[in-house]
């Protein structure tokens, strides 16, 4: 059967996969890793990788910088190059870490026996769908990812499934538990081995107000913006669009870091809706009303209360204190500790998933785990603490870029040691000079192309750098540009209002992506052919093909259609359907491609 997975994971082993112009990383026989980065004009280059920290690289006569580090255990590790003080992604690595701020590539060191929990094995795979939904609590459009188990779309299947709401950490996007946490592969493998039950997994975006041009009226400090959206908007959407079992016994919630806090807070205050609670490297408030002071009632409503943290995690002290607090209150919980996964990392997040998936929606196994739970580890006085200083170091004052206003759009880049910084866009023939302020922040304001969606990057002393403040990356095969998407764009999801939305699915085996409309029988099939530097994501993440179709369908200006990046796709046999083809290579820029798609949809 087809394996519906994500297109950017087409390099199944590691960044030095075949099919790319040049390998940037090499996994050596002794377990060490050799990193390569080509930049003849750089003065100093370092490589920063999670298993070894930041290390200098040596420049060869050919301008190639190299460093060999390790050995490292098989796993997935974020890394980047630090070029003259500025962090840059590996331009030759197809896999990257989706994040609101930092930009890292992903190194995958495979296990020789294929024994890692997240390995892509020859087993039935679930389907992953990207969705948009209108949130009344946000007064805007939000997005999420939905994993459906392998049997979900089997012909004639009307089975309903339990649901696990799984939330990523601070500054992560909804894609991280997918692209970095590999939750779908972990669950696929466990289900195939009979160690976990089939379930739907929903990946919400944990910071939804960032998607909106302005915060809705009344959305003030202290309001549970995420929880209100999840319970009041996302859950009703999921339960009306998918075959779910809608009671507390068949709902779970959890997450990593901030997502763990959000999951516990939302779950504990809605025990009529959730009976499985999971916290990975996190904790939550000890003052939640009607939760901790009535242990018998709380315990009777929870099948599984699972808490995991690394003893080398900077959150360990606070997480351990929370575990001890639960013990003193008589609240039952399962506790898991790690000591060898680099602290607050996605190695831990993946490991914790492998421990909890087999317990979810399995009352017998979860009850046994709860009965066998041990008290919290005794405090030593040397635990790391989550202090305001740690918070400030991890999350410094943000640079806003791009920033939209009535007068234009301003781009900013902090590079105090740079001699020159320029803005490079696909809509300007030459790079544009930026100006530096006293704090080392370079900026420029554009007054043209304000309603366009286009790719851009910074040139820092000649080195291409994606905007570190912009969460939207173009999923290119090589260097990944940032995406400028103004809220004044006529197809901006942020201002689209309450309309039905279709969904986008990705098929790794075929290397394609497909949009299905929200309602109606499709009468048009449009083949969106990728350009030479594009991936199957490009027509949707940069081209906005799904958003354009959604709006034109809602306005009655287009017919229900299927959009696919499969250049060989044909109409369904026996169904009368027009077939059209739109080639990205026929147009010089993404604004031009978007207009061509709009024209084609209106015509049909």
Q: Can you give the residue ranges of every domain in the chain?
A: 7-109, 127-371, 403-485, 511-603
Map residue 236 onto helix, strand or coil.
helix
Give the residue ranges of DSSP H helices in 330-372.
346-356, 363-371
CA 602 to CA 604: how far, in whole Å?
A: 5
CA 445 to CA 410: how far, in whole Å?
A: 4
Structure tokens at 226: 């995420």
Do 351 and 391 form a contact (C-beta atoms < 8 A)?
Answer: no
- How many distinct helices (H) and strands (E) make up the chain? 13, 32
Quick one: fold of 127-371? Rossmann fold (3.40.50)
What confidence score (pLDDT) does residue 9 get?
A: 34
Q: What stretches in the chain show pLDDT beneath 70?
A: 1-23, 213-223, 390-395, 508-509
What phi and psi, each to the nearest 5 degrees, are found at residue 265? -60, -45
Do 434 and 427 form a contact (C-beta atoms < 8 A)?
Answer: no
Closest CA relative to residue 152, chosen from 213, 241, 42, 214: 241
What confidence score (pLDDT) does residue 46 get?
A: 98
What is the DSSP pairing of strand 304-310 with strand 421-425? unpaired
Do 202 and 128 form a contact (C-beta atoms < 8 A)?
Answer: no
Using the structure block, give the residue that is written with the tokens 């990205």. 584
Quick one: fold of 403-485? Immunoglobulin-like (2.60.40)
What confidence score (pLDDT) does residue 218 get?
A: 52
| CA angle (91 as vertex; 87, 92 as ends), nearest 5 | 135
Do 54 and 47 form a contact (C-beta atoms < 8 A)?
Answer: yes
CA 338 to CA 350: how far, in whole Å?
A: 12
Q: Do the domains 403-485 and 127-371 match in fold?
A: no
Do 501 and 549 form a contact (C-beta atoms < 8 A)?
Answer: no
The Cβ of residue 214 has, within 10 Å, a number of other Cβ atoms equal to 11
Radius of gyration of the chain (CA): 24
Closest CA relative to residue 423, chosen from 485, 473, 481: 481
Do 141 and 132 form a contact (C-beta atoms < 8 A)?
Answer: yes
Quick one: fold of 7-109? Immunoglobulin-like (2.60.40)
Q: Please give the C-alpha separations between residue 56 and each of 44, 69, 86, in angstroms, as whole numbers.
A: 8, 10, 14
DSSP state of 311: T
**Structure confidence by residue, pLDDT tens digits, 370-417:** 999 999 999 998 887 777 776 666 667 789 999 999 889 999 999 999
H-run or E-run covering 447: none
What confidence score (pLDDT) does residue 393 get?
A: 67
What confidence score (pLDDT) does residue 159 get?
A: 97
What confidence score (pLDDT) does residue 215 get?
A: 60
CA 596 to CA 585: how far, in whole Å?
A: 12
Four-point Cα dihedral 238, 240, 244, 246, nearest 10: 100
């Amino acid at each position: 059967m087809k394996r519906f997975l994500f297109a950017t994971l087409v390099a199944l082993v590691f960044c030095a996969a075949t099919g790319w112009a040049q390998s940037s990383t090499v996994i050596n026989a002794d377990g060490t890793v050799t990193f390569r980065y080509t930049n003849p004009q750089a003065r100093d280059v370092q490589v920063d990788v999670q298993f070894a920290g930041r290390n200098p690289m040596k420049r060869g006569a050919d301008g190639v910088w190299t460093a060999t580090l390790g050995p490292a255990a098989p796993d997935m590790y974020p890394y980047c190059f630090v070029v003259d003080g500025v962090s840059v992604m590996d331009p030759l690595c197809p896999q990257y870490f989706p994040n609101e701020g930092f930009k890292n590539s992903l190194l995958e060191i495979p296990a020789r026996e294929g024994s890692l929990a997240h390995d892509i094995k020859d087993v039935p795979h679930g389907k992953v769908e990207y969705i948009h939904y209108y949130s009344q609590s946000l007064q805007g459009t939000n997005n999420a990812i939905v994993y459906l188990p392998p049997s979900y779309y089997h012909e004639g299947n009307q089975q309903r499934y339990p649901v696990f709401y799984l939330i990523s950490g601070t500054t992560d996007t909804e894609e991280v538990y997918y692209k970095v946490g590999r939750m779908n592969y972990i669950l696929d493998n466990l289900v195939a081995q009979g160690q976990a039950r089939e379930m739907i997994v929903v990946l919400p975006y944990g910071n939804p107000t960032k998607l909106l041009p302005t915060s809705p009226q009344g959305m003030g400090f202290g309001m549970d913006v995420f929880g209100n959206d999840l319970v009041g908007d996302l859950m009703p959407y999921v339960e009306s669009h998918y075959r779910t079992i809608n009671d507390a016994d068949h709902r779970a919630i959890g997450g990593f870091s901030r997502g763990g806090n959000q999951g516990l807070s939302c779950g504990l205050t809605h025990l009529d809706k959730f009976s499985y609670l999971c916290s990975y490297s996190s904790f939550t408030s000890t003052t939640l009303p009607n939760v901790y002071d009535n242990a018998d009632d709380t315990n009777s409503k929870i099948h599984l209360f699972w808490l995991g943290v690394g003893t080398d995690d900077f959150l360990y002290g606070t997480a351990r204190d929370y575990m001890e607090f639960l013990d003193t209150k008589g609240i039952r919980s399962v506790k898991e500790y790690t000591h060898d996964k680099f602290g607050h990392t996605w190695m831990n997040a993946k490991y914790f998933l492998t421990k909890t998936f087999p317990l979810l929606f399995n009352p017998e196994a979860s009850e046994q785990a709860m009965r066998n739970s041990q008290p919290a580890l005794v405090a030593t006085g040397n635990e790391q603490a989550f202090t305001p200083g740690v918070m400030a170091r991890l999350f410094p004052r943000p640079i806003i870029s791009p920033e939209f206003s009535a007068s234009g759009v301003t781009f900013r880049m902090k590079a105090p040691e740079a001699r020159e910084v320029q803005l490079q866009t696909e809509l300007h023939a030459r790079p544009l000079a930026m100006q530096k302020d006293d704090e080392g922040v370079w900026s420029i304001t554009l007054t043209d192309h304000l309603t366009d969606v286009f790719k851009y990057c910074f040139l820092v002393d000649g080195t291409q750098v994606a905007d570190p403040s912009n969460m939207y990356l173009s999923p290119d095969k090589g260097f990944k540009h940032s995406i400028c998407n103004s809220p004044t764009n006529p197809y901006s999801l942020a201002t689209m209002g309450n309309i039905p939305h279709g969904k986008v699915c990705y098929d790794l085996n075929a290397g394609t992506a497909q949009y299905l409309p929200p309602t109606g029988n499709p009468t048009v099939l449009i083949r969106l052919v990728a350009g030479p530097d594009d991936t199957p994501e490009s027509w949707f993440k940069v081209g906005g093909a799904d958003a354009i179709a959604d709006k034109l369908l809602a306005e009655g200006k287009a017919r229900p259609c299927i959009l696919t990046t499969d250049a060989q796709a044909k109409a369904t046999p026996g169904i009368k359907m027009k077939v059209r083809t739109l080639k990205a290579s026929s147009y010089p820029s993404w604004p031009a491609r978007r207009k061509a798609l709009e024209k084609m949809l209106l015509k049909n």
